[in-house]
Structure formats: C-alpha cells, structure tokens
Structure 1
Amino acid sequence: MRTTSVPRLPLLLLLALIWPGGAGGVRITELDVPAVALEGDDVHLRCDYEDEGGSSLYTLKWYKDDQEFFRHQPGRAPREGDDHCRDHHLYHVDGVTVDCWVSTERDVVLQSVTKATSGDYQCEVIGEHPKFRKETRRARLTIFSEDLRAPLLLGAEESYSLMDYVTLNCSSLNTEYMPELTWLINNRPANQSMVREVDSRTAGLVFQVRPEHFQRGEINVACVTSLGPRHKMSTPVQLPNRDGPSVKGYFFNTGHRMEASGALFILATLSQLRTLASPAL
C-alpha cells in the first residue's frame, strides 16, 4: 500500500499550531527613539511591551544597523566572555555606549552620543515557550555636532498703536540642520493663523494689534528655535504701545498705572521733606 509522506514541520511551529490559547505572545506597545540629538547628549530609548495570552518575555534585544548591542533575558546566567551588568548583556557596536546601571529591560540609555551613534535602531521582543512569537519595531536616530543657535528676529518697529499690523520674521542661523521655529505672544503660543512660512529657514508672524495684546504697556513676542525636547533657544522682542503708558509708567511689581497727579504729589512731598531736613544757613 502506497503512503504519502507528510513534510515535517519545525518543532516550534508544530507546537504553536496545536497549543491552545490563540496567538498569545509578547507585543510591543511603544517604541520611543528620538529623531535627533546633539553630540554629548545622553539619549533615552524606550521599548515598552505587554504580555498576551498568558505568555511572558523570553528576551528583549536592541540593534543598531542590525547589530545587537543590548539584550535582556530574564533568568539567563552570564556566559564566559559576556559583557554584562545587572540583568543585561552588552555587545560592542561602534558609536554605542550603554549606561547599563540606569537602563532597564524597557529603557536603555546611550551615554555621550557622537555622530557615529546615528543609525537605525530596532527593538525586538520574543515571548516565552511554547510559541516564541517575535515582534520588532525600528526608528532612525540622527546625531548633529553643531550647537543650537538663537534665531534672528527682524521687522520690529519702535512702537505700535491699536489696529496696527505687526509683521516679523524669524530665521534659523544653524547650517547643519533645520530646527523647529515657533512663536510666542506674551508667553503663549501664537495662533497658527498668524504664522507664515517665508522660506525653508524663516517663519513669519503677522497679526493686528488688539487691546488685549498690550500688557503693562507693551507686547512681548519671542521666536523659539528647538531641536528635540531637550534643546531650545529664544530671541525676545518688546513692542511698546505708541499711544499709552510705557512699562515705566506702571509700578514695578503691581502692574497698576501710576497716575501723573499721584506722581507729582509724591515728588512734591519728597521735596518738602528734603527742605525740612536741610540745616538752616
């Protein structure tokens, strides 16, 4: 009697097919790799995961440009020749220095990054027996050497009246990269309807002056340039009210206007006190 041969399935695949409980395993819920950083920064990488279907973590690995540099494998004893600290196993990769004493299985810290640290970073998680389900995610990190520079702000006039138009330009002075440019009016983000893109390195701000814009006799505007969440610089400018009191017309720490009559009364009183205190000739 002729029989038909059945191809042998790999043992792990066979177990995955017959084991009850669906497609359980370990799933990546968050991959956080900063897009940019500056030389000398400490860069935090995060790969968060959760268990599914009763599985647990078998191993978590980090790769740079497909080269493994970090492994967390619960319960694995260090092998001879391993570079390890705590529960982590480290592997040499150019441009990567891990601060393993503050790193965890979910958060890895790269110390004092250089341009050689730039690359594609991949997190890989594998669930425990019996399925050993694997999931990966990848993101790009770029390191720059040029320090962030304060932006150039142009176009401010000496003073403004109500209903005048304020037209300002803000330009990045960095050449290695283009940071993000944003505007603040009285320490609050400007409405996007006021912002204009002039060119690839310049953002404009256009708005009509309203009474609420003046605070203590002037409008405070700032252009902010930023590279990632850690690096920010700003260039501020004060726009005085042409028709109202200047900021000097207000008490230093109250924000109330000093009326002219009150100021004259104070000056007259001080003058009389000086006369009384002066010795008679």
Structure 2
Amino acid sequence: MLGFTFSSLMLMLFGGVTSLRDVKLLVHPTTVVRGGTAALICSRDMQGAPLYSVKWYRGNHEFYRYTPMDDKPTQVFGLPGITVDMNNSNGSQVVLKKMDLSLAGNFSCEVTADSSFATQIATKFVDVIALPSLDPVLKADKERYQPGELLKANCTSSPAKPAANLTIKINDEPLRSSETSLHASETGLLWTSVHAEMKVTPQLFVSERLRVTCVASVHDLYKREAYLDFFTPDTDPRPERKTYFLWTSVHAEIKVTPQLFVSERLRVTCVASVHDLYNVHAEMKVTPQLFVSERLRVTCVASVHDLYKREAYLDFFTPDTDPRPERNNYFLWTNMHEEMKVTPQLFVSERLRVTCVASVHDLYKREAYLDFFTPDTDPRPERNNYFLWTNMHEEMKVTPQLFVSERLRVTCVASVHDLYKREAYLDFFTPDTDPRPERKTYFLWTSIHAEMKVTPQLFVSERLRVTCVASVHDLYKREAYLDFFTPDTDPRPERITLNGGASRCFLSWVFLFFVMFLPFAMGQDFIYEDYPEYYESDHPIRSTVERTLLGG
C-alpha cells in the first residue's frame, strides 16, 4: 500500500515529464596519438526536461563538471595528466589536450535531469598510442646474391605502443616463413624485429630485379616501408655506387589557412633521423604565437655524429612584416648551408660532385652542381686547382602571375662567404609595357657587374685573367677576357701612348686630313682649280703623303 501511494505521488508530481534516455559517449578520434587531442562528446535525449548537470570521469575520478544553473557553469578538478581545453569544452563535449599514454582507459559522462533528477551514465574506452618515430630498418647479410644462395634479412621497427606489425615481402608477396620477436625499450615502449631466410632462385628475379620489402604498420595511423633491391652482376644498373650512403626524399602538401600563422609566422619543419643516434621529430599546429619578432623560421638540421652537420631553413612572414623588398608574398625563398669533411672515398672515378636540387611539386625541378678534382686528374686545361667554377641551369614555365608590376626579373646571385657577392639579372616585359625604346621583344640583353679585391694570390703564373662567358643553350657560346699583369711582368712592350712609330702614324693622319679631306669640306674645287697638278701621280706632296702612310 505504501509503495502504491509513493508511486501515485510521483506520478502526480512528475506525470507530465518524460524521463531522460539515450545517453551516449562518442570519442573522436577513436584512437588518440600520444601528444594529440581528443574530443569526448556526450549526447542525450532530455525528453523536454531541463539539464541539471553533466559530470566527466576518468575511471572513478571526476575531472570536469558542467552545471548550467550555477553562476560558474564549468568546474575543473585537477587530475594528473589531464589537460582540459576550456575554450572548446562545454555541456556537450570535453576536449582534452596533450594526451599521454597513462590516460588510456575508461572515460564516462554522467547526465542528470533537473526536474526528476534522473541520471544516466555512458562509458567508453579511450586508447592512447605512441607511433614509431622512425621508418623501419631493413638489412641483409650481403649486397648481391646469386641463384642458389641463402638470403638472410632482418627488419627492425622503432619503439612504439602497441608494437608495430612487421611484414617481410619478396617482390610484393608476403613471406610467411619469418620469425617475429618483441622487445621492451627503456621508455616502456615496444619494438619489433623480424628475421627471414629464403633460398634465392632465378625465378625471384622479376625484370632482372629481386626486391625485399619490410612493411611496418600500427592500426591505420602508421604505415612505412623499407626495401632492398638486388641485381645480378650483369644487370646491376648501379655503376660506381657506394653502399655506405643513402638519401631520403619526403613530399608534403598542406592547405595554408590564416590559422596556421602563429604570431604572424608559419613554421614548416623537416626532421632527418638515423636510428637513436640521430633523431628529431616535430609536428606543430601553426598559431599566431609562433611568429617570434614577426617571423616564422622552419629549420631542418641533418647531422651524423660530429663529422657532418647541415641546416636548411625557410622564413615565413605576413604581408605587413615581410622585410624583403619587391617580393610578392606568394613567393618564398630557401637557403641551405652545407659543410662536410672531404675524404678520399668521396672521389668516385676521381671526381667529387656536389649537387643541389630545388623542386616545387612536379612543376619545377632544377639542379646546380660543383665538380671537384684532384690536381692530377683535373680535366680542365689551364685551370689552377685553387679555383672552382659553378654552372646552373634553370627552366620554368612563364605565367602571367610572374609579372610583378608588369616586369619579370630573373636574378642570379654568386657569393663566396662574406667576401664576394655579385648579381646578374634579366628583366622581361610584355610588348605593351617594355620601357626600352626601339628594342624588339624578341631580343634580350644581359648585364653583369662584378667587384673583387685584388690580392697577390690571384696572379697565377704572374697573370690575372678575368673572363666573361656568354651562352645560349648549346647553340651559342662566346668568351671575352682581360689579362692583367704586374709592372715587372707585363709582357707587352712597345705599348706606349703616342711616341715613336705611333706618333708618326698620328701626325701622318693629321697631315692627310688637312691636305686631302678638309678641302672637300670647304669646297670640292678648292684644290682642283688652284692646284690641279696635285692630282698628278708624280706630285711631290702626294708622294710624301703616300710614303708617310706606308711607313717609307
């Protein structure tokens, strides 16, 4: 009877209110990468009832509460490892930043209705993982294999949690006879190693190549490959290749938005690493705070122990703070500085080539290189081994956007440390805006200005030669040069101004001008009428002039 009375009372008080239902917890993304952000979304159907509170738990510990009726609707309760993004958290979701591996576990949201104090809880497991920081490393016991030999390969992944899944492939076909083992690192992460052995047969050389591939993957968030190509001695296309050096290429594309500019600077970083000896990895969302002193610098540092260290960087500015005059904010420039110890092993076929490759997607790719030789093998005649020359070839599709203020300027800058810097440029105009009068738009001219301090070391074999080389593709090449000597070594005797034979030649021409040409300027009949005998072949004045001009 008492139960019936209480139920009747509840129906009388709350009969017009439908109870809370369908409380669900959604996690985005479903798997969170260490250091990343996770949004915990709590959805519910209030059935018309007002909301009293939403509470968020990690396990049994509350860390965030939303009570819309209070003066301060949001409350955060300190919990180690949890960082709440207050700007993006509310009564419907909580955004957690800088997620750590220790936060993996059950998260819950508890919703309470205001009128009936009906409460429902939804729980979801949130997984936090650590991806490998490096690509897998694949090694074989030999550089080349012959049919009948046993191929032994080992592949190792960098530490992760969970451990990366490794698969060995032979010509893109998974190799099932492999041994996989797990190992724990000092940081608590796991790394995987796999060992495979296989007998090499002629059938494995597809198109005269045998490829061994190691694929490392973690869920759908990480997948990397490393491979080794093997050839027979007759088909190996790699002449003069040293097995000690490998190069890496990375391609990235991202849509640039205003939000990427932090402190009015956008920083892009490229990280190169070799195992645990050389490793730096950085990913960052660009915010206005990244622009330090109104500049965002992206630096890539590559190093191998203490023997090699190189840097390349990109500077980004906003249009208002770009210090580069006459540069459109759509263009960025790149500078790279390289230093390396030269060893005899670097000279392949007695030549050391240093190449710089510049590329923009698939639309632009240019190379510039320097060739270095030893004094005994330098193929360039009459060149001292202390001097090096540089050659650069450029090609680019011309578009209307390249014409800034109706002018397209192509500049070549040559520099040697801080002691020498010279520029040469070409200006291109459209036919309507070309400021050069009487010039055909089919022809272009080039001007170059150079200055350099003269030192005794520049005089090679007591001569300093300055050469200017003009070329158009492979169809035209011309040179002009000036030779300079010291006063003691100048081999050009008889070069004196207006004395000796030069003086006689000069006076003879003056005499000829007054005798023969000046009269014609005063009147053609001046000499013919007054001195008709001059035009006779044996006249003494005419004979004297001819002897003087002929050196008699």
Which residue does 2:276 correspond to in 1?
none
1:134 to partner: Cα distance? 0.3
How much does 1:126 deviate? 1.9
Q: Residue in 2 aligned with 1:78? A: 71
Q: Is the 8 A contact 2:41 2:92 kept in 1?
A: yes
Matched with 2:193 is 202
Describe how 1:55-204 pairs up with structure 2 within 5 A: 59-73=53-67, 75-79=68-72, 88-103=74-89, 105=91, 107-113=93-99, 118=103, 120-126=105-111, 128=113, 129-130=115-116, 132-139=118-125, 148=133, 150-155=135-140, 157-159=142-144, 168-172=153-157, 174=159, 178-183=162-167, 194=176, 196=178, 198-200=180-182, 201-203=192-194
Q: Residue deviations 1:200-237, cap 9 Å, x none?
A: 333456889998995895637243254883xx585623
Amino acid across the alignment from 2:26: E
2:193 corresponds to which letter in structure 1?
A: T
Q: Quote the residue 1:84 is aligned against.
A: none
The alpha-carbon deviation at position 25 of structure 1 amounts to 1.5
**Contact between 1:156 and 1:167, CA under 8 Å: does it hold in 2?**
yes
Q: In the TM superposition, what is the alpha-carbon distance from 1:184 to its structure 2 partner?
A: 7.8
Deviation of 1:163 after TM superposition, in Å, equals: 11
Read off the aligned partner of 1:6 and give its amino acid letter.
G
Q: 1:28 aligns with which of 17, 24, 31?
A: 24
Residue of structure 1 in register with 2:453 after alignment: none
Match status 1:44 vs 2:38: yes
Pairwise CA distance, 1:67: 1.9
| Offset at residue 248 of structure 1 (A) | 5.6
TM-score by length of 2: 0.31
Bigger strand fraction: 1
Tell me by how many angstroms 1:68 deviates. Answer: 1.5
CA shift, 1:28, in A, is 0.8
Select the residue among 204, 216, 221 that pairs with 1:224. Answer: 216
Partner of 2:229: 239
Supply the AA of the counterpart residue of 1:199: S
State the alpha-carbon separation in 2 of the partners of residues 217 and 16 from structure 1. 83
CA 1:92–1:191: 2 relative to 1, 3 Å: farther
CA displacement at 1:140 relative to structure 2: 5.4
Equivalent-residue separation in structure 2 for 1:195 and 1:104 (angstroms): 53
CA distance in 1, matches of 2:207, 2:50: 58
Q: Determine if contact 1:162/1:210 at 8 Å carries over to the other structure.
A: yes
Query: Deviations along 1:221-279, whole A, 9 cap, x unmatched?
Result: 243254883xx585623223438855669xxx9xxxxxxxxxxxxxxxxxxxx9xx9xx
Residues 135 and 226, structure 2, Cα contact 8 Å, conserved in 1: no
Question: Whole-Å Cα distance in 2 between the matches of residues 197 and 63 of structure 1?
Answer: 42
CA distance in 1, matches of 2:193, 2:4: 65
Kindly name which structure, 1 or 2, has the bigger radius of gyration based on alpha carbons. 2
Structure 2 residue identity aligned to 1:223: V
Cα 1:220/1:141, change in 2 over 3 Å = same
| CA shift for structure 1 position 197 | 5.0
Q: Which runs of 5+ in 1 are unaligned?
A: 80-86, 254-273
Deviation track 1:154-212 (CA, whole Å, cap 9, x = no partner) reads: 446534689999764433453x85522244869x9x67674845233334568899989
Write the letter of the residue equivalent to 1:198. T
Question: How has the CA–CA distance of structure 1 residues 152 and 53 changed in structure 2, closer, same or farther, with 3 Å as cutoff?
Answer: same
Aligned with 2:86: secondary structure? Answer: coil
Structure scoring higher RCO (CA < 8 A, sep ≥ 6) equals 1
Q: 1:236 to 1:119 in 2, by over 3 A?
A: closer
Mapped to 2, the partners of 1:60 and 1:209 lie a distance apart of 67
TM-score normalised by structure 1 residue count:
0.53
Q: Give CA-to-partner distance per residue, 1:63-113, whole Å, 9 cap, x none.
A: 12422212344x43433xxxxxxx743222222221222345555333334
